[in-house]
Amino acid sequence: MTAGIVAVAASILSPSIQLSVEALRFCLQLSTAAIGASLFLFALFIRRIADDHRQIAESEQRFRRAMEDSAIGVAIVGLDGRIVQTNPAFAAMLGYSRTEIEALTFFQITHPDDLQLGRETMVALKEGKIDSFHFEKRYLKKDGTPVWAQLAGSVIREEETGRPLYLVSQIEDIDARKQAEARIAEAETRWNFALTSAGQGVWSLDMRKGGTTYSETWVRMLGYDDGELDGDPDRWLTMIHPDDRERVAEAERAHLADETAFFEAEFRMRHKDGRWIWILDRGKAIERDGEGRLIRAIGSLTDITERKQAEERLKVSAAMLADEKERLRVTLQSIGDAVICTDAANRITFMNPVAEKLTGVAAGEALGNVLCHVYWPVDEETGQRIGLTRPSAGDRQHCDQNTRAVLIRRDDTRCSIRQMVSPIMNDRNEFCGLVIVFQDFTDARALQRQLAYAAAHDALTGLANRSSFMRTMEELVDQCRLNGGEHQFMFVDLDHFKTVNDTGGHAAGDALLKRIAAAIRNVLGPEDIVARLGGDEFAVILKNGATAQAAIAARSIIDAIRNLNFSWDGRPHSIGASIGLAPIRADHGEVDEIIARADAACYAAKAAGRGCVSAAPDEVSKEEATSLLLAAAS
């Protein structure tokens, strides 16, 4: 085009430069050709530019569609960490919108523990040490939860200078894989820890790899170093105790012949130091060749030496326990006491012959039944059932004794028993049942009642004796002091009783005393207390009575004794009585003082002519009380 312009300019300027017509024509032709050629070249250039623009637009369209439609995240990141552009997959992976995430930097969405990794990668890219990168890191979602991702990307550089411009990264969500790997690692850790803690070793047979390998726990179990026993698949058989080899070989043969699902055997193996340890070996064939020959197998070995030793000890203990149990059974069968044992549910587990006899139920019928169907004890006085139940937690070592129990049999007959109930506790202090030991106490109980009655009653008259009467008096005096109230005390002394003894003898006197006791008892109420103090002296306590009422009651006693009409050997005897009265109140002193006052009043009645009643004065000085006590004592 430049040449054409020059030719046109020459034709215009030709008059001044005096060119010939031929030269001018040549210039015009030349310029026309140059312009035509330049126009053609320009058209080609414009078309090339258009093609380049179209290719760039198509490439950009493909990149945009690839970025937009990609299932994994894509991000363009500036060298300052700013996120220039991202695709929907990456925004969705972190829970952001594209607008929100493109306003952040990768530092803001990276887990704090992984920030240094990103910074180091960025520095290496800027310094030209690397052009691409590939690593795993954790991002933070919008809600703050971490998510594992795998990054792969490269740096885009300026063509002329090589200066880095930005980074293009592909981000794949691998959080599920990471969690699965963590679970697998945790399971493997637990598995290894469980095997080690349980003292279990693992062996693996692989004929393709040349034999058997053993875990570290396995070889240490036998005192060897790691790898020392690997290789020969038959070496372990040479380490088995000779007495156990045949049994182990048979178990192995049965498994290889598919007769058993697993190989399992307990045997002794020689430790490196020469001692024998017990081993539990479990294994399984997992691969065979076409002819059925073993290719791969795996199994575990457990040191069960302590268990075997414990079993031996248990065998010895069981034998000793069986002997002891037999001795105990023979003892319980032969002793004179009745014995019943129950379990924790209160069901009978044992019953000896004496218990069968006392309950009236055979052991065969009783075993397995609830205790109350066979053994029903009640309190002798109240008639209430005596419960035999599980003891409380703080009272499980206590033995309950009862000497006032009465056993009611099925036929409603009764038997006085003395029982002892003891809980059975195991070594963990758990309740396991009861042992009831009881005896027939009927005769002993009757004797006890007789002795108790004799200790508190006069043998001749059946009235309360002096000691029991004094105890009753003391109780009443204490009650008056605590609660108030008033009772009346009578001191009764017979008149002319000595004459009966002298003329009729002691037999006559005893007969008379019995009738007098009955006469006094008949005159009084059921709550009143009558006692014989000794000889011909009697005492009466009127419960809750005033002095006037006491005087009337005393007069009735005197009349009843006078009207007895007692005769002995055909000879009548006239008997009388003199009575002294004294109140029992809180302010009337001790028991001895009250008796002394009533005694003194009785002497006053005798002095007044006998056969009458005399009441002690309410107020007595200390000196008078002392003199009365001395007189009573004399």
Count of residues in the chain: 634
pLDDT band at 629 (very low <50, low <70, confident <90, very high): very low
- On whether both 296 and 209 belong to a single domain, the answer is yes
- Inside any domain, residue 20: no
Structural domain span for residue 496: 457-620
pLDDT band at 631 (very low <50, low <70, confident <90, very high): very low
The answer to whether 335 and 355 are in contact (CB under 8 A) is no
- 3-state DSSP call for residue 497? helix
- On whether both 480 and 596 belong to a single domain, the answer is yes
The answer to whether 281 and 299 are in contact (CB under 8 A) is yes
- On whether both 593 and 466 belong to a single domain, the answer is yes
- Inside any domain, residue 219: yes
Please state, rounded to an integer, the average pLDDT across all residues of the chain. 83
- State residue 3's pLDDT score: 59
- Inside any domain, residue 511: yes
Tens digit of pLDDT for each residue in 317-334?
Answer: 888 888 887 887 777 777
Give just the sign of the alpha carbon dihedral 68, 72, 73, 79: negative
106-120, 425-439, 447-461, 620-634: least confident range: 620-634
Average pLDDT for residues 153-179, to the nearest whole number?
A: 84
Average pLDDT for residues 108-112, to the nearest whole number?
A: 89
Distance CA 207, CA 199 (A): 26
- On whether both 294 and 343 belong to a single domain, the answer is no
- The residues that are catalytic are 536
Distance CA 151, CA 571 (A): 141
- Inside any domain, residue 24: no
* Amino acid (one-letter) located at 607: A
Q: Which of 601 and 444 is assigned the larger pLDDT?
A: 601
Q: Of 144, 179, 214, which residue sits at a domain end? A: 179
Q: Of 111, 144, 179, which residue sits at a domain end? A: 179
- On whether both 497 and 604 belong to a single domain, the answer is yes
CATH number at residue 547: 3.30.70.270
CATH number at residue 262: 3.30.450.20
Q: Residue 328 has what DSSP assignment?
A: H
- On whether both 467 and 373 belong to a single domain, the answer is no
- On whether both 100 and 131 belong to a single domain, the answer is yes
- On whether both 530 and 565 belong to a single domain, the answer is yes
- On whether both 463 and 583 belong to a single domain, the answer is yes
- Inside any domain, residue 540: yes
Tens digit of pLDDT for each residue in 253-295?
Answer: 898 888 998 899 999 999 999 999 998 999 998 888 888 888 8
- On whether both 549 and 487 belong to a single domain, the answer is yes
- On whether both 105 and 164 belong to a single domain, the answer is yes
Q: Of 114, 145, 179, which residue sits at a domain end? A: 179
- State residue 632's pLDDT score: 42
Neighbours of 8 (CB within 10 A): 15
Judge if pTM exceeds 0.85: no
Bridge-based pairing of strands 294-303 and 338-342 is: unpaired
R_g over Cα of the chain: 61
- On whether both 493 and 562 belong to a single domain, the answer is yes
The answer to whether 532 and 460 are in contact (CB under 8 A) is yes
Average pLDDT for residues 341-351, to the nearest whole number?
A: 91
Tens digit of pLDDT for each residue in 390-400?
Answer: 666 655 566 77
pLDDT band at 520 (very low <50, low <70, confident <90, very high): very high
Count CA within 13 A, CB hemisphere, residue 500.
Answer: 24
Distance CA 572, CA 297 (A): 123
Please tell me the total count of domains within the chain: 4
